[in-house]
Structure 1
Amino acid sequence: MNTDTVTRTFVEYYEERGHHRITGSTLIPPPGDPVLFTTSGMHPLTPYLEGRPHGQGRRLVNVQRCLRTTDVDEVGDPTHLTVFEMLGTWSLGDYEGPQSLEWGYDLLTEGLGVDPGLLHATVFGGDEQVGPDTDSLRVWQGLGVPVELTVEDNWWSNGPFGPCGPDSEMFLWTGCTPPRSTPTQDERWVEVWNHVMMRHRRLPDGSLVPLPQRNVDTGLGLERLATLLQGKNSVFECDVFTPWRDTVPGLWHVDEPSSRLLSDHLRSAMVVIGDGVRPGNTGRGYVLRRLVRRALTVLWCDDPSRQLGDLQGELYRHTLGHFGQTTDPDEVRRVLLDEERRFGLLLERGRQVLSRPRFRGPLDEEDLHYLHDTHGLPRDLVLSLRPQDS
């Protein structure tokens, strides 16, 4: 079952249950959102979760591309990507958590063919402000799915204050043995779907007040789910990465960890550029610059002659097309090659500066600040040129 089939099955299932498909936004959040990039499907819907009527009704479904800077350092493991797609559903003051969980279980087991015996759930166990989520607990017990109660792991918030609430997560067993232990005790339980009962607003003083309506917000990582359904061991083996997997290792003869990082970071950079961001020293531009330069650092580690110009145009067209972007692939390629040229010049200047007698010994914080403020050499670049000092 490829990602297109998973997406179609998901959307059609919820459309049959009265949900209206809405168009996903770009990676750029709506005005006023404090985050740099859209990190989940709920970001563009925040006003409606807070009570504003939505023009397409109270039951919604969509596919949203997301970027999470918090996952950048995790890239290379079996489940994390920088840019990914999130399947989402919303009840805006309509049905509540138990209905959402029952539909989720039915779609996974009947619609997508997941063995019920490979499922585990987690539920909010309660704290000093909010009691345990007994409604969700009863649903899972009634379906015969094992449940683990947690506190912090099952409370969802969109920052230190704002909409929040208890959540219930679905996990799928990926081990070679029969399922054992619980999701918090065994990493072979992989989270696939989160159902948030968004009922509260946290105020700056830490207190909770009810939202104007009781919502349900769910999110399901498309690439992660497709990987599990396809019986693969990592997201880099699912079908959306086929062109990258067929190209990168042979093109540059890199090992598996390097191939994964290059594929993720360069693919993510293409999508970010496709949404209108350009490299810079602050904000979104800096995130893009960091992605490109991390990829180049890995690419040039063993062979400085490797170039981004080696990438085939098909990779640009496939990536932009998959995310429905209309940006000219040649423009995206030009931005990447220009950033590669700038980074090459910065590396050369950095090597010249670091060869001076003052910097031949271990570098302290004063040195790092001086190199940044006077020569424009960021800390991560300096430490990549002098890894023995990191």
Structure 2
Amino acid sequence: MRTDHIIRTFVEYYEERGHRRITGSTLLPPPGDPVLFTTSGMHPLTPYLEGRPHPLGKRLVNVQRCLRTTDLDEVGDATHLTVFEMLGTWSLGDYGGPLSLDWGYGLLTEGLGIDPGLLHATAFAGDDRTGPDTASAELWQGLGVPVELTVEDNWWSNGPVGPCGPDSEIFFWSGDGPPRSTPIRDDRWVEVWNHVTMTHRRHGDGSLVPLPQRNVDTGLGLERLAALLQGKQSVFACDVFAPWRHLVPPLWSLEEPACRLISDHLRSVVVLLGDGVRPSNTGRGYVLRRLVRRVLTVLWREDASRTLGDLPEDLVHHTLDHFHQDARPADVLRHLLDEEHRFGRLLTRGRSVLARPRFRGPLAEEDFHYLHDTHGLPRDLVTSLREE
């Protein structure tokens, strides 16, 4: 089942149940949001989760592209991506968590054809402030799905203050042979769908106050689900990455983890540029610049003659088209080459500066500040150069 089929099945399933599709936004969050990028489908909907009436009603569904930098060091494993797509549903003060879970189970088993025996769920066990999520646990038990109760892993919060509540997560068995153990004890159980019931608001002092409007917010990772449905062991093996698997290896001879990182980061950079982000030394532009430099560090580790100018325009076009972006592939490639040349000059200057006697021993904090403020050498780059 291709990703476009998954998206169509998902959206139509919820439209049949009274949900209205809303247009997914760019990676740039709405004005006033403190985060650099949209990290989940709920970010653009924050005002409506706070109680403002949504013009399309109380039941919503969408597909939202997201970017997360918290998992950068895990990119290259079987499940983590920097830019990914999130399938989401929302109940804004309408139906509750058990119905959301029941519909989710129906989509997975009937709509997408997943064997119910390959599913496992988790639910909130309760703590000294709120009771257990018995409604979700009983729903799963009634469907015949094994459920594991946890505390920390099944309480969702949107930061130190704001809406929060219990969540119930759905896991898919990815191992060989029949399912074993539980999601907490065996990482072959892959989380695919999180259903959050927003029941409380957390205040700055840590206290919880019940919300007048209870919402349900769900998020389902598209690439992760696609890999599982397509019988692949990695998100990088699903159909979304087929052009990258076909075109990147002939360009640069790389081990599998490095090839995955290169494909993920370049794909993410293309999407960032397509959404209007430009390289800079701060904020969103620095995230873009950091991704490009991570790519070049890997490429040049074995061969300094490698260049992003070899990246096929067709690959850039495919990514822009997939995310419905209007940027010109030639402009994207021009920005990549500009960053490559800038980074090359910075490396040359950095090696020259670090060769001075002053920087041959252990570096103090004031040295890092000096190297950054005077020579434009970030801490991570200085550390990397000293390891050469």
Q: TM-score, normalised by structure 1?
A: 0.98
The 8 Å contact of residues 154 and 169 in structure 1, kept in 2 or not, is answered as yes
Please list the CA deviations of residues 178-214 of structure 1 after superposition, one character each: whole Å capped at 9, or x if unmatched. Answer: 2111111111000000000012111111111222311
Aligned residues with identical type, % of pairs:
78
Residue pairs, 1:84-99, within 5 angstroms: 84-99=84-99
Matched pairs, number: 388
1:314 aligned onto 2:314? yes
Residue pairs, 1:44-193, within 5 angstroms: 44-193=44-193
3-state SS, counterpart of residue 70 of structure 1: coil
Identify the residue that residue 229 of structure 2 maps to in structure 1.
Answer: 229
Query: Which amino acid is 1:23 matched to?
Result: T
Q: 2 CA distance for matches of 1:146 and 1:112?
A: 20
User: How big is the shift at 1:358?
Assistant: 2.2
3-state SS, counterpart of residue 339 of structure 2: helix
The 8 Å contact of residues 50 and 211 in structure 1, kept in 2 or not, is answered as no
Q: 2 CA distance for matches of 1:254 and 1:366?
A: 37
Identify the residue that residue 365 of structure 1 maps to in structure 2.
Answer: 365
Residue pairs, 1:211-290, within 5 angstroms: 211-290=211-290
Please list the CA deviations of residues 34-91 of structure 1 after superposition, one character each: whole Å capped at 9, or x if unmatched. Answer: 1110000000001111111111111100000000111211100000000000000001
Q: TM-score, normalised by structure 2?
A: 0.98
Please list the CA deviations of residues 163-182 of structure 1 after superposition, one character each: whole Å capped at 9, or x if unmatched. Answer: 11110000001111321111
3-state SS, counterpart of residue 300 of structure 1: helix
3-state SS, counterpart of residue 9 of structure 1: helix
User: How big is the shift at 1:96?
Assistant: 0.5
Runs of 4+ in 1 over 6 A off after TM superposition: none
User: How big is the shift at 1:377?
Assistant: 0.7
3-state SS, counterpart of residue 175 of structure 1: coil
Q: 1 CA distance for matches of 2:289 and 2:127?
A: 41
The 8 Å contact of residues 119 and 171 in structure 1, kept in 2 or not, is answered as yes
Q: 2 CA distance for matches of 1:130 and 1:341?
A: 56
Query: Which amino acid is 2:268 matched to?
Result: S
The 8 Å contact of residues 126 and 133 in structure 1, kept in 2 or not, is answered as yes
3-state SS, counterpart of residue 367 of structure 1: helix
Please list the CA deviations of residues 241-261 of structure 1 after superposition, one character each: whole Å capped at 9, or x if unmatched. Answer: 011111111111111111000
What is the aligned-residue RMSD (CA, Å)?
1.0
Identify the residue that residue 25 of structure 1 maps to in structure 2.
Answer: 25
User: How big is the shift at 1:370?
Assistant: 2.5
Please list the CA deviations of residues 96-119 of structure 1 after superposition, one character each: whole Å capped at 9, or x if unmatched. Answer: 011000000011011111111111
1:199 aligned onto 2:199? yes
Q: Which runs of 5+ in 1 are unaligned?
A: none
Q: Which runs of 5+ in 2 are unaligned?
A: none
Q: Which moved more, 1:105-114 or 1:218-227?
A: 105-114
Q: 1 CA distance for matches of 2:50 and 2:372?
A: 43
Q: Which moved more, 1:362-371 or 1:18-27?
A: 362-371
3-state SS, counterpart of residue 321 of structure 2: helix
Q: 1 CA distance for matches of 2:223 and 2:144?
A: 27
The 8 Å contact of residues 121 and 168 in structure 1, kept in 2 or not, is answered as yes
Q: 2 CA distance for matches of 1:387 and 1:159?
A: 36
Q: 2 CA distance for matches of 1:325 and 1:345?
A: 31
3-state SS, counterpart of residue 159 of structure 1: coil
3-state SS, counterpart of residue 70 of structure 2: helix
Q: 2 CA distance for matches of 1:55 and 1:98?
A: 25
3-state SS, counterpart of residue 219 of structure 1: strand
Query: Which amino acid is 1:111 matched to?
Result: G
Q: 1 CA distance for matches of 2:181 and 2:9?
A: 31
Query: Which amino acid is 2:3 matched to?
Result: T
The 8 Å contact of residues 85 and 222 in structure 1, kept in 2 or not, is answered as yes
The 8 Å contact of residues 50 and 212 in structure 1, kept in 2 or not, is answered as no
